[in-house]
């Protein structure tokens, strides 16, 4: 897989926050009398405000979203990196521009990445920076513009269905990180994590390949 830039989701892709996220949404469901499975089947990869708005009356959304953010900021001790993520991000950033595209608010994104020891690149597109969150492609398109590289020339790394849809709609060559299964995900190249992955660069592009027995799909970089 090759690209002239790399765009990374955060939660579940670079930062292992799944246990914290699922616990918080389970508690949210219990407080509001909502079956947690209903929330979790919708939540992954989306902005907290969008999730809250799906399940609570409009008059309650602002307060509930703000309270949830404070809870998330107080649960950083359980945050850890996806295996190999900090070093992988550094190696890719040494070759091409990189950006984070996350549904999390900026405060939470910076706090979780710091807690996990994942370097924060200069371009971080958070949920605060877009009008419409994932699965809309706005965040990925904005990141590509800030890097001054066409989205179609970028690699995108995602772990959840909403994020995969956003990256693919933006035109980026999209890679699944982790074990998410769906017809969309199963048609894409996949990395279990960022261990056993080689990174090389030439002519303004980075090439990433798995060193496991089953190689990932390769593609030459597209030029804008």
Could you give the residue numbers annotated as active site? 9, 11
Tokens of 152: 């179609």
* Strand, helix or coil for residue 35: coil
Count CB atoms within 10 A of the CB of residue 75: 18
Residue identified by tokens 């590289």 is 149
User: In Å, how far are 32, 44, 134, 168, 188 from 176, measured between CA atoms?
Assistant: 33, 14, 15, 11, 7
Strand 173-177 relative to strand 205-210, pairing: unpaired
* Strand, helix or coil for residue 137: coil
C-alpha 128/C-alpha 80 separation (Å) is 23
- Geometric angle at alpha carbon 185, from 184 and 190, rounded to 5°: 150
C-alpha 217/C-alpha 188 separation (Å) is 8
CA-nearest of 98, 196, 195 to 147 is 98
């Amino acid at each position: 897989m090759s690209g002239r830039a790399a765009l990374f989701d955060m939660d579940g892709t670079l930062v292992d926050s799944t246990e914290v996220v699922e616990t918080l949404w389970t508690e949210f469901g219990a407080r509001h009398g909502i079956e947690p499975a209903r929330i979790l089947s919708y939540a992954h990869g989306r902005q907290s405000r969008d999730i809250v708005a799906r399940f609570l009356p409009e008059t309650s959304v602002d307060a509930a979203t703000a309270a949830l953010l404070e809870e998330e900021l107080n649960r950083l001790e359980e945050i850890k990196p996806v295996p190999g993520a900090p070093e992988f991000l550094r190696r890719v950033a040494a070759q091409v521009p990189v950006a984070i595209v996350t549904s999390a608010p900026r405060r939470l994104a910076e706090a979780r990445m710091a807690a996990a020891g994942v370097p924060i690149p200069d371009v971080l597109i958070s949920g605060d920076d877009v009008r419409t969150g994932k699965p809309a492609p706005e965040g990925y398109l904005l990141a590509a513009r800030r890097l001054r590289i066409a989205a179609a020339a970028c690699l995108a790394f995602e772990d959840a269905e909403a994020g995969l849809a956003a990256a693919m709609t933006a035109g980026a060559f999209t890679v699944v990180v982790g074990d998410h299964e769906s017809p969309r995900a199963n048609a894409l190249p996949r990395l279990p994590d960022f261990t056993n992955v080689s990174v090389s660069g030439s002519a303004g592009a980075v090439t990433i390949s798995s060193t496991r027995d089953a190689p990932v799909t390769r593609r030459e970089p597209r030029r804008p």
